[in-house]
Amino acid sequence: MKTHLHAAVIGSGVAGLASAIRLAVFGVQVSVFEKNSYPGGKLSHFEKNNFLFDAGPSLFTQPDNIEELFKLAGENIDEYFHYKPVPIACKYFYEDGIIINAYTDAEKFSEELSVKLEEDKKSVGQYLAHSKKLYNNVASVFLNYSLHKLKSLFTAPLGKAIAAVKWKHLFNSMHEVNSSYFKNSHTIQLFNRYATYNGSNPYKAPGMLCLIPHLEYNEGIFYPKGGMISITNALYQLALKKGVRFNFNQPVQKIIIDHGKVKGITVGNQNVDADIVISNMDVYGTYKYLLSNETKSKQVLKQERSSSALVFYWGISAEFSQLELHNIFFSENYKEEFDHLFLHKKIFSDPTVYINITSKCEPGMQAPAGKENWFVMVNAPANIGQDWEAYKQQYRRNIIAKLNRILKTDIEPLIETEEVLDPIMIEEKTSSYMGSLYGTSSNSKMAAFLRHPNFSKQIKGLYFAGGSVHPGGGIPLCLKSAKILSEILAKDFKIKT
Instruction: Write down the pLDDT at residue 160.
Output: 59
Q: Please write the tens of the pLDDT for every residue from 299-350.
A: 988 889 999 999 999 999 999 999 999 999 999 999 999 999 999 999 999 9
Asked whether residue 244 is domain-assigned, the answer is no
Which one of 191, 219, 247 terminates a domain? 219
493 dihedral zone (left: phi>0; alpha: psi -120 to 50; beta): alpha
Instruction: Write down the pLDDT at residue 143.
Output: 78
CB atoms under 10 Å from CB of 487, counted, come to 18
Instruction: Write down the pLDDT at residue 145.
Output: 78
DSSP string, 347-410: --SS--EEEE-GGGTSTTTSS-TT-EEEEEEEEEPPPSS--HHHHHHHHHHHHHHHHHHHHTS-
Instruction: Write down the pLDDT at residue 33.
Output: 98
Q: Decide: helix, strand or coil at residue 494.
A: coil
Which one of 379, 411, 430 terminates a domain? 430
The band of 171, judged by pLDDT with boundaries at 50, 70 and 90, is confident
Region 258-286: mean pLDDT is 97
Q: How far apart are CA 406 and CA 329, in angstroms?
A: 8
Q: How far apart are CA 17 and CA 32, in angstroms?
A: 8
- Is the pLDDT at 371 greater than 70? The verdict is yes
User: Which residue would you say has higher pLDDT here, 292 or 171?
Assistant: 292
- Is the pLDDT at 158 greater than 60? The verdict is no
Region 280-293: mean pLDDT is 96
Which one of 406, 430, 454 terminates a domain? 430
Region 171-175: mean pLDDT is 91
- Is the pLDDT at 162 greater than 80? The verdict is no
Same domain, 309 and 418: yes
Region 34-48: mean pLDDT is 97
Q: Please write the tens of the pLDDT for every residue from 82-117.
A: 999 999 999 999 999 999 999 999 999 999 999 999
Number of domains in the chain: 2
Region 56-85: mean pLDDT is 97
Same domain, 308 and 424: yes
Q: How far apart are CA 163 and CA 145, in angstroms?
A: 18
Give the orientation angle of helix 14-25 with respect to helix 229-241, to 10 degrees. 20
DSSP string, 124-180: HHHHHHHHHHHIIIIIHHHTTS-TT-HHHHHHS-HHHHHHH--HHHHHSBHHHHHHH
Asked whether residue 8 is domain-assigned, the answer is no
Please state, rounded to an integer, the average pLDDT across all residues of the chain: 94
Same domain, 120 and 213: yes
Region 367-386: mean pLDDT is 97
Instruction: Write down the pLDDT at residue 153.
Output: 58
The DSSP secondary-structure symbol of 31 reads E
Asked whether residue 489 is domain-assigned, the answer is no
Same domain, 316 and 425: yes
- Is the pLDDT at 164 greater than 70? The verdict is no
Asked whether residue 208 is domain-assigned, the answer is yes
Q: Please write the tens of the pLDDT for every residue from 235-265.
A: 999 999 999 999 999 999 999 999 999 999 9
Instruction: Write down the pLDDT at residue 141.
Output: 77
Asked whether residue 77 is domain-assigned, the answer is no
Same domain, 316 and 426: yes
Contact present, 169 and 134 (Cβ < 8 Å): yes
Q: How far apart are CA 481 and CA 250, in angstroms?
A: 24
Q: How far apart are CA 441 and CA 444, in angstroms?
A: 8
Q: Please write the tens of the pLDDT for every residue from 426-454.
A: 999 999 999 999 988 888 876 767 789 99
Q: How far apart are CA 486 and CA 479, in angstroms?
A: 11
Region 364-379: mean pLDDT is 97
Instruction: Write down the pLDDT at residue 428.
Output: 94
Asked whether residue 200 is domain-assigned, the answer is yes
What is the widest separation between alpha-carbon atoms in the chain?
A: 66
Instruction: Write down the pLDDT at residue 150.
Output: 65
The band of 3, judged by pLDDT with boundaries at 50, 70 and 90, is confident
Asked whether residue 380 is domain-assigned, the answer is yes
Asked whether residue 175 is domain-assigned, the answer is yes
Q: Which of 128, 125, 477 is nearest to 306 (CA)?
A: 477
Give the domain range for residue 359: 304-430
Instruction: Write down the pLDDT at residue 151.
Output: 67
